[in-house]
Each structure stands twice: as C-alpha cells, then as structure tokens.
Amino acid sequence: METLGIITLLPALVAIVTAVLTHRPIESLLAGVIAGLLLLSPAQTIPNFSEILLAVVMDETVAWVIIVCGLIGSLIVLMMRSGAALAFSHALSSRARSRRGALLSTWLLGVLIFIDDYLNALSVGSSMRPVTDKQKVSREMLAYVVDSTAAPICMLIPISTWAVFFAGVLEESGVAADGEGLTLFISAIPYMLYPWFALLLVFLVAGGWFPAIGPMRKAEAFAARGELYSHAPAALESHEPTNTGRPAALYHFALPMLALIGFSVWYDIDVEIGVLMALLLTIVIFGVQRLLTWHQLFDSVLDGIKIMVPALTIIVMAFMFKTVNDQLGMPSYVIETISPWMTATTLPVLTFITLAFVSFATGSSWGIFVIAIPVVMPLGAAAGVDTTLMVGAVMSASAFGSHACFYSDATVLAAQGSGCSVMSHAITQIPYVLIAAGFAAVGLTLLS
C-alpha cells in the first residue's frame, strides 16, 4: 500500500498533543480525525467525515461495544440504586479495613473478572469505589488498579474475549492451522511479558511496596485531604440507593455478577448475551423482592445507558481515528520503516516497541493487529525467531496499547467506572505503564 511517508504520523501527533494540552479526549480525537482527512482530501473533508462516521456506527464491532457497555451501565445503576453495590461495599469494608486492603481487594476482584476487559473495567471500578473512597484512595489510583487488571488479565487467562479474538486472527493469517489458534495463543502466554509486568507492578503499588510517583503522587496527596477526584463525571455521583422496600443483601450483588460471568462462559465467551441475561435476571429478582418499583427498575436501565454516552462517544471517535489512520497507511508505514533493522536478536523487541507505538498512537489494541500479524510473523519465521516468542511480543504490544493510550476504550471505561476524568487517569498511570513496558522490552531482548 502506498503511503504519504512520515506525514502519516501527523494526525496521531495532533491528537496526542491536543489531548495533553486540553485534557479533553473527544476534542483531541476529533482534531486528529480532521487532520487526517485534510491529508487525504482537503476538498472532501466533510463528506469523508460523514461517510466514516456512518461506517463506524454501522460496524458490527462498534455496535457490539455500544450494546455491551450500555447494558453494563444499566446493570451498574441498578446495583447502585437498589443498594446492592452498597451491601457489597459494606461487606468488603469489614475485611478491607485499610488502604492496602482496599486496593489489594480491587486487584484481586480485577483478576477474578477475567472474561472481558470492558466488563472488568466497569464492574470493578463501580463496585470498589465506595470502599476505596472510605480509605481516602484517589479515584485515579483506583482507575489505575482497575485498568491494569483489565486487558492484562484477559490476555493471561485464555478464557476471555481477547483470547478468542486473537486465536481467530492467528488462524486467519495462516500463523496457526485451523483449530490451533488458541493452542498457539496459550503456548505464548509465558512470553507475554508486558501483561505479566503490568499485573505484577500494580500488585506492588496496591500493596504499598512500590510508591506513588509522578502525577499519581499529587492525586494521592489530594485524596489524603479528602479530595478524592478531579473532574469526575457527574452522572456517576448521582445514583445513591433509592429503594424504600427491603434492604439489599450481599447476594443481590453477587448473584447478578455470577450470572454475568456464568452466562458469558456458557454462551462461548459471548459477553453480550451474558450481560443481557444478567440484566433480565436482576430486574426480575429486584422487582419481585421489591427492592425497587417496576418504574424505578426500568428508569434505572435507561439512566444506565445514558451515563455511558460520553464514554461511548469517545470510543466511536477512536474508531473513526483508527479508520483515518488506516486509510493514510500509517500502520503499514511504521512497520515497513522499521523492518530493515529487524534481525533475529532485535526482531521481538522491535516488534513490541513498533506495534506498541502504533497501538498507542491510534487507540487500537485489536484492529491494527489484523494488519500487523501477517506482516511481522513471516519476518520472524524468516529470521528463525521462535513463533511463540513473536506471538508474545505482538500480544504484549496489544496489551500496552489498550493500557497506555489516552483515548483507548479500556482507559475510557476504567476512568468511567472509577469516577474520574479520562485524562487524569491516563496521565497519572502513564509512568507505571512505561516502567512495565521497559521491563518487557528488556525481557524480550534477553529471550531473543
């Protein structure tokens, strides 16, 4: 594919700089999209914008994200208004009596909800927020712990949407034989160094064995004075319990969560069916037991969808941004530029660094790898690099992109669930992300 050369990096640069300067992800992505469209065809900027927006909204993946996140938002509001989330937090507070206990409980809950990173980011953040608030943990710290156990754990435990997706990509690209994609994915798990280091580092931070650094130190200082967040989404703060009937018990929280995970696994890791079944079960139980009136139940479902609109808007804009970068040929340009420097020794680490950069710049932790895997895997085979090591490097880059990007879906949803702004979450966690990435790069070099 013919590209515009180094100019293809301009939209990503515009988006990143705008995000840092304004702390507003939607405007930043919009600036990057417009910059890319101007490069493609200045005279057709508006028609192309409209065409890409329509294509993105009609895309099956985007529609899936909108449905799943909207329904999870409904489930969250039901939990909050019924008092079920409060019952859970009270039960956990009796055991998590310290800051360390609250954060380690958050880490453990994130590890246990391994089936999907969207489900993980939203449910863990909203569930643990009252517990960490009580211990004066900053919302930014909560978001970091949540985000760091979302994509990484979904990659390391192969009963997840990530494993299913990438197993399919490995088979479709010819890297693995039909039916062997998941086997190859599992064999590469020991070499997925970024998820391992990210998960270990956040455990050390949660336990207080690694200090708060950079912007996180400032956020924690504010939290110690009772200022738990800055620029939190107002909608998340307005769903206190409204039930006037019987008080909610711990099982009112646990049962929907177990149903969500159980039905998702039962239907072949289909989180959409899982959350739909869990939502229906929750409505029936809460209605029959009169935790909320039927009017309150259905109002909560609609309000839950509403609170997800800002996050979903960012995700739609991120998909538009990815589409523009693909049309410019940005991923292909970066891979082709770095290819001449790839040898058997440097290939795994350069693959990780290159794809991590592309994933970070475009906000795509899945899409670009459909393009990249058929390119970098044959390079690895030609250089004599072990296939599982190459897969580990590629998967590490994907996890990094999901975790680090200021406007990736996981970053947005972790901030949304934890009750802080997207940019404050992204900026406070980036030092930890870079530390984990540095260890991963060193590890891949040593293993080559």
Any idea where the domains of the chain sit in the sequence?
57-315+330-448
- Count CA atoms closer than 13 A to 157's CA, side-chain side: 17
Q: What is the pLDDT of residues 194-217, one digit of tens each?
A: 999 999 999 999 999 999 999 999
Handedness of CA 10, 15, 16, 17 (dihedral sign): positive
* Mean pLDDT along residues 90-117: 79
Give the Cα separation of 145 and 418 in Å (integer). Answer: 10
Most confident of 2-6, 189-193, 228-232, 311-315: 189-193
Query: For position 428, what pLDDT does the model report?
Result: 94
Q: Lowest mean pLDDT: which of 165-174, 301-310, 349-358? A: 165-174
Taking only Cα atoms into account, the Rg of the chain, rounded to an integer number of angstroms, comes to 22
Query: For position 241, what pLDDT does the model report?
Result: 60
Query: For position 264, what pLDDT does the model report?
Result: 79
Give the position of tokens 């840092």.
20
Q: Lowest mean pLDDT: which of 168-182, 279-293, 300-314? A: 168-182
| Share of residues in the chain with pLDDT > 90 (%) | 24
Give the Cα separation of 200 and 137 in Å (integer). Answer: 20
**Of residues 188 and 17, more confidently modeled:** 188
Q: What is the pLDDT of residues 71-83, one digit of tens each?
A: 888 887 888 788 8
Query: For position 67, what pLDDT does the model report?
Result: 85
Q: How far from 263 is each of 269, 273, 430, CA to CA, in Å?
A: 8, 7, 35
The per-residue pLDDT of the chain, averaged, comes to 82
pTM as predicted: 0.75
Query: For position 235, what pLDDT does the model report?
Result: 46
Query: Is a pLDDT exceeding 70 seen at residue 427?
Result: yes
**Of residues 378 and 241, more confidently modeled:** 378
Is 99:138 a contact under the CB 8 Å cutoff? Answer: no
Query: Is a pLDDT exceeding 70 seen at residue 446?
Result: yes
Is 365:359 a contact under the CB 8 Å cutoff? Answer: yes
Residues in Cβ contact with 392 at an 8 Å cutoff, skipping those fewer than 6 apart: 188, 189, 190, 191, 192, 193, 348, 444
Is 101:95 a contact under the CB 8 Å cutoff? Answer: yes
Give the Cα separation of 143 and 155 in Å (integer). Answer: 19
Query: For position 234, what pLDDT does the model report?
Result: 43
Give the Cα separation of 429 and 198 in Å (integer). Answer: 11
Query: For position 115, what pLDDT does the model report?
Result: 66
Tokens matching residue 154: 């979904």
Q: How far from 331 is each of 137, 162, 342, 367, 408, CA to CA, in Å?
A: 39, 21, 16, 10, 17
Query: For position 279, what pLDDT does the model report?
Result: 93
Most confident of 240-254, 347-361, 404-418: 347-361
Q: What is the pLDDT of residues 24-39, one digit of tens each?
A: 777 888 898 999 999 9
HEC assignment per residue over the chain: CCCCHHHHHHHHHHHHHHHHHHCCHHHHHHHHHHHHHHHHCHHHHHHHHHHHHHHHHHCHHHHHHHHHHHHHHHHHHHHHHHCHHHHHHHHHHCCCCCHHHHHHHHHHHHHHCCCCHHHHHHHHHHHHHHHHHHCCCCHHHHHHHHHHCCHHHHHHCCCCHHHHHHHHHHHHCCCCCCCCHHHHHHHCHHHCHHHHHHHHHHHHHHCCCCCCCCHHHHHHHHHHCCCCCCCCCHHHHCCCCCCCCCCCCHHHHHHHHHHHHHHHHHCCCCHHHHHHHHHHHHHHHHHHCCCCCHHHHHHHHHHHHHHCHHHHHHHHHHHHHHHHHHHHCHHHHHHHHHHHHCCCCCHHHHHHHHHHHHHHHHCCCCHHHHHHHHHHHHHHHHHCCCHHHHHHHHHHHHHHHHHHCCCCHHHHHHHHHHCCCHHHHHHHHHHHHHHHHHHHHHHHHHHC
